[in-house]
């Protein structure tokens, strides 16, 4: 799952560089979308493998090791990273850089109580003010959908075409609900 999440982050950053923009930070909303995409890529075999590894159950010869082919489809990311000047860094190295880092520890009951009693004491991070992103207009959403349609048209994936049609239908229906006919006298009012 972490590899898929990191892959989303890298692809987004590389797309920004290709557009000539500086890669921006990841917002909480973006992170939530990337996590949802990563979780949807988790298969039953992955869960079984993690369960077996966690509880020390020896995997059968019939069960396929899930982690072995995790970086098999990353050649395009390696090429893209080299294109933008990150030569010498393989995507597999980037994605597995913190595999050996301990991410959690067993807490005692006293630690848990202290953390719950004073949540600010355990929070060392300071929330930064995030500038508000203006709500997209209907016309900008239609333009983005047209761009997405041109991109999807290059593939022969029927599922992507169906998903695009669902988005298009939703955009048109929601767009119609939000759009209201202005009274004619508003058009002829003088603006002071």
Query: Which helix (H) or strand (E) element contains residue 77?
Result: helix 75-83
For residue 15, the model assigns a pLDDT of 78
How far is Cα 56 from Cα 69, in angstroms, rounded to an integer?
21
Burial of 50 per CB tally in 10 Å (0-12, 13-18, 19+): middle
Is the predicted pLDDT of residue 130 greater than 80, yes or no? no
Domain positions in the chain are 2-99, 138-179
Closest CA to 93 of 114, 70, 113, 109: 70
- Asked if 38 and 4 touch (Cβ cutoff 8 Å), the reply is yes
The candidate with the shortest Cα–Cα distance to 47, out of 28, 63, 26, is 63
Higher-confidence residue of 46 and 66: namely 46
The pLDDT mean for the chain works out to: 73
């Amino acid at each position: 799952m972490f590899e898929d999440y990191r892959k989303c982050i890298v692809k987004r950053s590389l797309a920004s560089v290709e557009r000539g923009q500086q890669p921006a930070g990841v917002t909480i909303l973006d992170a939530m979308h990337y996590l949802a995409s990563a979780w949807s890529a988790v298969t039953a075999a992955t869960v079984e493998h993690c369960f077996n590894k966690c509880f020390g159950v020896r995997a059968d010869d019939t069960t396929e090791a899930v982690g072995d082919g995790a970086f098999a489809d990353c050649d395009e990311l390696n090429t893209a990273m080299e294109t933008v000047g990150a030569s010498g860094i393989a995507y597999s190295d980037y994605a597995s850089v913190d595999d050996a880092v301990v991410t959690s520890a067993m807490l005692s009951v006293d630690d848990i109580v202290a953390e719950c009693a004073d949540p600010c004491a355990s929070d060392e991070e300071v929330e930064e003010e995030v500038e508000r992103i203006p709500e997209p207009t209907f016309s900008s959403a239609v333009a983005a959908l047209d761009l997405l349609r041109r991109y999807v048209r290059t593939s022969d994936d029927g599922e992507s075409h169906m998903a695009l049609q669902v988005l298009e239908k939703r955009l048109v229906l929601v767009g119609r609900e939000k759009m209201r006919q202005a009274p004619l006298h508003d058009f002829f009012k003088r603006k002071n």
